[in-house]
Each structure stands twice: as structure tokens, then as C-alpha cells.
Amino acid sequence: MACVHDHSCEDHDCSSDFSLYKHVDLSKVSALNEAITGSVKSVFRSWEQRLNSSEGHLESNEGDPELLVFIPFTSDVKIKSISVVGGADGTSPSKMRAFINREGIDFSDAQNMQPIQEWDLAENLQGVLEYQTKYSRFQGVGNLTLHFPDNFGGDATQIHYIGLKGEATQLKRDVVTTVVYELMPNPSDHKTKAEGGGGLSQVE
């Protein structure tokens, strides 16, 4: 299922508020079959910068359109939707398959394993399409692997942007923990008062 942005993004959750970009562990993002090593990192940008390709893009080796992208997160996340902006002239990926919490997947694994979800993609050059996940399956995601097996007939596959929407669960846990600690009496406070005299009289 794809969501087309035919509405005002100011009134919907299309903004960076729901973007998981800041929770991607960019230093550990990797791709198999990329023509330029490390170029996969350039496709993760803020939502507002999704069409800014000046920093580069991910491209497969010529004659082999298959790509495998490994995306680890700095904390567990819930993923609601995925957006992929591909290249022109048939170089956009035509299918996307997702695996979660599986490290070290290679092309053989990706082809033989059952993905948690897969989508037929449209050519999305302007970034107006988002592909909804089966949300209940995308909870507690520590890492995401995206397999792009083919494109629309180009010699290579190009990806200019990958956007992930959802929420980071770790942030909510931290907030709850902080509140609990603030409400609990701090034993060290009482100890300091007793040791320093603090105007407390001793009972004989």
C-alpha cells in the first residue's frame, strides 16, 4: 500500500517529526553490490533534503541491478512507512523486500529467505510515494535490511533517497525512567543531612 502526498504536509505526519533519519546508525550502514564503496550513506538525509542529490547516490554495478542495503539503528524503532526515490531512465528499483533484525544477510540469503514484507515499487522520482508497512510486524526493529532485486530495465539501479517514518521506542523508555528516578527519595540526601548535623537531635 502506498500513500500519495496529494495533501498539505503541514496538516499530516509527513514532516521530519516522524522521520527516523536521526536514529539511523549511519557509520554502520552498508550495501552489497554498490558501484562506489560507502555511497549508500549518502541516501539517508532529512525529509526536507530528500530531493537533494548533490551529496551523491547509491548505484549498483553496471549490468547487475540487484542491491542489498543494511540499516542499523541507534535504538529500537517502530517503522510505519518507507519511501524510496530512485533514478530516471529505468534505473529505479521495481521491487523492495524487507528483513528485520537479521545481520550479515547476503544475496543468496535474501533470495531464499521469506521477507517480513515486500512491495512492488513505482518510479518515485519526486519522493511523493510512501509504502506503508504491516506495522505490527515492524516493532522493536534494531536493524533493517532492504533487498532491491530488480529495476525498470536500466543497466544499473540507482537510489537517491531512502526515508523511514515511525518512532524510536528507546526515547520513550528513557523519559519514563527519568520520571521514576525523580519521584524516588534520594538516600544520599538524607545521609548528608544526618552527617552534617542538619539540626537533627539524637534520641538517647
Average pLDDT over residues 164-172: 79
Choose from 99-108, 168-177, 190-199 the range with maximum mean pLDDT. Answer: 99-108
In this predicted structure, what is the pLDDT of residue 12? 44
User: Residue 97, Cα to own-chain centre: how many angstroms?
Assistant: 15
Mean pLDDT of 19-38: 96
Q: Are 133 and 117 in contact (CB under 8 A)?
A: yes
According to DSSP, the residues that pair with 84 across neighbouring strands are 162
Specify the pLDDT at position 47. 87
- What's the pLDDT score for residue 176? 43
Q: Tell me the C-alpha distance between 169 and 46, whole Å.
A: 20
Q: What is the largest CA-CA distance in the chain?
A: 92
Annotate 170-189 with DSSP letters as a single string.
HHHHHHHHHHHHHHS--HHH
SS3 category, 159: strand
Q: CA-to-CA distance for 122 and 103, rounded, in angstroms?
A: 28
pLDDT tens digits along 169-183: 855 434 444 444 455
Structural domains of the chain ordered from first start: 14-172 (2.60.120.470)
Cell, residue 186: 534520594
**Confidence bin at 53 (pLDDT 50/70/90):** confident
Q: Confirm if 58 and 159 have CB atoms less than 8 A apart.
A: yes
**Which of 65, 61, 43, 64 has its CA nearest to residue 52?**
43
Return d(Cα 187, Cα 2) in angstroms, integer: 54
**Host H or E run for residue 192:** helix 187-195
Q: State the pLDDT at residue 88.
A: 95
**What's the pLDDT score for residue 66?**
98
Query: pLDDT tier at 125 (50, 70, 90 boundaries)?
Result: very high
Q: What percent of the chain has pLDDT over 90?
A: 67
**Mean pLDDT, rounded, for 91-106:** 97
Q: What is the pLDDT of residues 64-83, one digit of tens each?
A: 999 999 999 999 999 999 99
33 secondary structure, DSSP code: S
- CB-CB neighbours of 33 under 10 Å: 18
Whether the per-residue pLDDT at 40 is higher than 90: the answer is yes
Alpha carbon 38 to its chain's center = 17
